[in-house]
Amino acid sequence: MNAQTAAEPLDKKFLTPGVMVLILLAVNGIAFVLARIFFGIGAVTNLNDQYPWGLWIGVDVAAGVALAAGGFTSAALGHVMHREDYHAIVRPALLTAMLGYTFVAMGVVFDIGRWYYIWHPIFMWNGNSPLFEVGMCVMIYMTVLYIEFLPIITERFMGRVHLKGILSHLTRPLESVLRVLDSTLSKTMFIFIIAGIVLSTLHQSSLGTLMIIAGPKMHPLWQTPVLPLLFLLSAVSVGFPMVIFESLLAARSFGLKPEMEILSKLGRMVAPLLGIYLAFKIGDMVIRETFVYLATLTTASILFLLEIVLGVIIPLRMFLSRFVLKSPLWLFVASSLVIFGVLLNRINTFIVAYTPLFADKPYFPSIGEISVTIGFVSLLVLLYRALVLIFPVISVHKEYVTPISKYSIRGSVK
């Protein structure tokens, strides 16, 4: 009898007290979204001509794109580098990225003034606009993520389609479609995986390009010509911590044993990535001599120091500790600090550092903006929970007595 790890739908109940709270938060957010659609963006947000973007762009879009980086970093590790021992975390990371980019797209839709014109970039191209490049890459990459998720769907339903009644004659055609789709994707999936990695590097950096053109409206602590590189490096750095964070949370929520052997190995890769990011961040500050802005205690200088110290330096030291790498709790804390640092960096860059030249008052998000953001996060968690209960996403440890067949390895044991 050998212990094996197989991805399969989790046999857990969906509704819990925590889930009920998330449902209430999601419903509250949806109510404000409907108000935004029917009464206009000004009725729900504090945005105006001086502040054309705020919380929804800074958190829902910019931070959402960065925190979904676990999808392409884990894909690169598991598929491109052929590190087979990391495959257990690839599917959860893929699902998190797919849902993350879906809500990023929704954030963009509701943030623009005339949300029903969201289709314009598809047909009205502007090659000189970094925002156009971001929009196109996000749309294409989101499509790629859904294609990458298709094998999990075929795996779940292939050989299990048994329609009854007047729909029974559709059973065989649907089964044929699933098998053809499964066979085709198994031969072409490498194309989509590579495309996803390339697209991710493009739009992660282009978000930084978007803020460079803000010019003097940006605070010097964040306004730098290497902002695209810093955005890309920070996204790569937060990829594995996000996978660790999600994996430990899922294990806790579903009562599963944490994949500490895998997560500890991932943790060892985080410190060098954070070190590279920190070196470029400090080096840029020294070259441009913007460290002089830290001599005076202001909102910008305090938030910049929090971003660097709490979000980079402290977790960098923690990920160098063997004790932290072996402890689920401290590994979770270290990963949370990295996530906090990247989240704060995007808030600082898009909101704190951005000051219009003729603004008569500072921007602060409204209750509606905050409610929509919290509602989106709650809805993402609810969908994640539902999908792992339906599809073989999370790997669980099982005991197998007989030799494992092709389909049992893939998590399709009946």
Which pLDDT does position 402 carry in this prediction? 40
Q: Which of 377, 395, 273 is nearest to 59 (CA)?
A: 377
Q: Please tell me the predicted confidence (pLDDT) of residue 214.
A: 85
As a whole number of angstroms, the distance between CA 317 and CA 319 comes to 6
Helix (H) or strand (E) holding 250: helix 227-254
**How high is the pLDDT of residue 302?**
95
Tokens representing 371 are 């409610």
Helix axes 17-39, 367-390, angle to 10 degrees: 130
Q: What is the pLDDT along the chain (414 residues), one digit of tens a residue?
A: 334 567 788 888 898 999 999 999 999 999 999 999 999 999 999 988 888 888 998 998 889 988 888 888 888 887 667 667 777 888 898 999 999 999 999 988 998 888 888 888 888 888 888 888 888 888 888 999 999 999 999 988 888 888 888 878 888 888 888 888 888 888 888 888 888 888 888 888 888 888 888 888 899 999 999 999 999 999 999 999 999 999 999 999 998 888 888 999 999 999 999 999 999 999 999 999 999 999 999 999 999 999 999 999 999 999 999 999 999 999 999 999 999 999 999 999 999 998 888 878 888 999 999 999 999 999 999 999 999 999 999 887 664 434 433 333 334 333
Contacts (Cβ under 8 Å, ≥6 apart) of 174:
161, 163
Q: What is the pLDDT of residue 165?
A: 80
Torsion of CA 327, 330, 333, 339, to 10 degrees: -60
All domains in the chain, ordered by first residue: 2-409 (1.20.1630.10)
User: Residue 93 corresponds to which tokens in the numbers above?
Assistant: 């990371």
The 3-state DSSP class for residue 396 equals: strand
Q: Show the tokens assigned to 186.
A: 């198994």
pLDDT, position 36? 94
pLDDT at 85: 75
| pLDDT of 405 | 38
pLDDT of 69 reads 86
- How far is it, in rounded angstroms, from Cα 140 to Cα 182? 21
pLDDT score of 404: 38
Cα separation of 181 and 273, whole Å?
Answer: 37
- The residues facing 247 across adjacent strands are none
Per DSSP, the three-state class of 188 is helix
In 3D, which of 369, 383, 370, 413 has the Cα closest to residue 395? 413
